[in-house]
Chain A
Amino acid sequence: MQEERIATLKRIITPYVQNKEALEQLTAETDFIKDLEINSAHLVDIILDVEDEFDIEIEDEAMEEMLTVKAALDVISAKVDA
């Protein structure tokens, strides 16, 4: 389940990632901005794509936390598995 979600997340973030090598070694600890060099302006676009993919709505407070793969997975699972 978790691997499946990581794979989905990886697919979503791929267009925004500037450091493609870091993307290959994606783990739960990977930081979107520091490791993947995603332009911070694009985090809002990633969140819109996540909302569409999982059919959920993410609040502003949760958006602020979604800076790593783990944080994103936590937000998704809090919504989807609730």
Chain B
Amino acid sequence: MKQRVVITGMGVAAPNGVGLEAFGAAIRAGRSGIRYYERLAEMKFSCCIAGEPEVTEEMKLRYLTPLQLRNFRSSGILYGCMAGVDAWEDAGLERRPKDAEPDWDTGIVFGMGNSGVDQMREAAYKLDGGKVKRLGSTTVPQIMASGVSAYLGGILGTGNQVTTNSSACTTGTEAIILGYERIVLGHAKRMLVGSASDSGPYIWGGFDAMKVMNFKMNDQPEAASRPLSTTAMGFVPGSGAGALMLERLDSALERGATIYAEVLGGAVNSGGQRLGGTMTAPNATAVQRCITAALHNAQIKPEEVDLINGHLTATMKDPDEIQNWTIALGRKGADFPMIHSLKAMVGHCISAAGSIETVAAVLGLHDNFVFPSINCEDVHPAVSELVDTNQIVRELREDSSVNVIAKAGFGFGDVNACLLLKRWDASH
């Protein structure tokens, strides 16, 4: 019998809400976290709108010491520490004192696309000026890929595997699957999983150059991220972090922890950049196989999926994703599951997307609601051809019938991840 894994804590720093309570209220209300940034306009960005968590100096000090915050420029690490510590405390766990044994049974998989781009920029200027010594002692932890898991491990005192995964926009969903698998394999009792992404021009610039972002709606930031819409014109960049405490069921029950939902299983794969797959576009066969493999791993039949929390970035690829779901599930029209995209509210949070979106999915399961996919008044005809538009959740549904959610993430490099979540039912 496979180990059962449940979610016992969560934390989030998202553009439309920092902390579970604020985020939960925002996604119920369909509130956008996308704003216009004059700085991006000054730097000649085409897309001058973005999503960034609003964090005060006072909030930072709840997570990092004044010493850690000296010369600290890694926004992604900050968001990751906020979400990670919140998830840990939400799960009812204590930070280990400095002179105590670490928690050998708990590990961390916390993903990042890249780490501390602002710190890297600062360092590069000093290096080019012949001032290598001026980099000080914190440049390395702020720019190393595993910076976020290293900071979190030190704050919490985790003694199991502490690592970082990186797979572009799949990162967050993949981190959850990696932590889940480690528990199922019997190597850990608890895994703090999640992902983070930096804010700002130095992380978003490359996407602006690719012209994959919506640069036509700078004057309407809240309406600009339009998944599944006819007028979807590219994604809007976001940032932040999401974190979940995964725990072996027996450990959670023993501790009397709050159980938000069960992780049934998942799968990751790659399209090999073959059969239509490229660095930036997915191989459709691989996406379908990933969904099928995730269902198999979770022992869930396609007809049991009630709701899809899509990758759906608001580019012209959205209809392709819908087509892949219809083929993989063998369901279309009115028989298609409900579907929505959090990116309509927070933008595409890049490496943080999968974890923030999974926190949203789990909140819905636990609190009996389905958040609205805003900015989709005009469903794309290629989507409505495949799926009954009533299945696109465009207004808040207080709907307790959702039992199983499929969450997917796809990323550059032609990589895919799919995760199955189930409402927690204490009687099973």
Contacts and interface: CB of A to CB of B under 8 A. Distances in A.
Interface of A: 15-16, 41-42, 44-45, 48
A44 B137 contact: yes
B403 to A, nearest CB: 50
Interface in B118-152: 133-134, 136-138
B137 A15 contact: no
A48 B134 CA distance: 7
B186 interface: no
Interface secondary structure of B, over-half rule: loop
Given A15-B67, A42-B67, A48-B134, 8 more contacts: A15-B70, A16-B67, A42-B137, A44-B136, A44-B137, A45-B136, A45-B137, A45-B138
18 contacts: A15-B66, A15-B67, A15-B70, A16-B67, A41-B137, A42-B67, A42-B137, A44-B133, A44-B136, A44-B137, A45-B70, A45-B71, A45-B136, A45-B137, A45-B138, A48-B133, A48-B134, A48-B136
Contacts of A15: 66-67, 70
B60 to A, nearest CB: 15
Contacts, number: 18
A15 B67 CA distance: 6
Among B66, B70, B134, B136, the most chain A Cβ lie within 10 Å of the Cβ of B136
B416 to A, nearest CB: 39
Contacts of A41: 137
Report, nearest first, the 3 A-B pairs whose CB atoms are least far apart: A41-B137, A45-B136, A44-B137
A63 to B, nearest CB: 9
Interface string B149-162: 00000000000000
A69 B71 CA distance: 24
A44 B136 CA distance: 6
A59 B71 CA distance: 22
A13 to B, nearest CB: 11
Interface string B78-94: 00000000000000000
Contacts of A48: 133-134, 136
Contacts of A42: 67, 137
A42 B134 CA distance: 13
A38 to B, nearest CB: 10
Contacts of B136: 44-45, 48
Contacts of B71: 45
A12 to B, nearest CB: 12
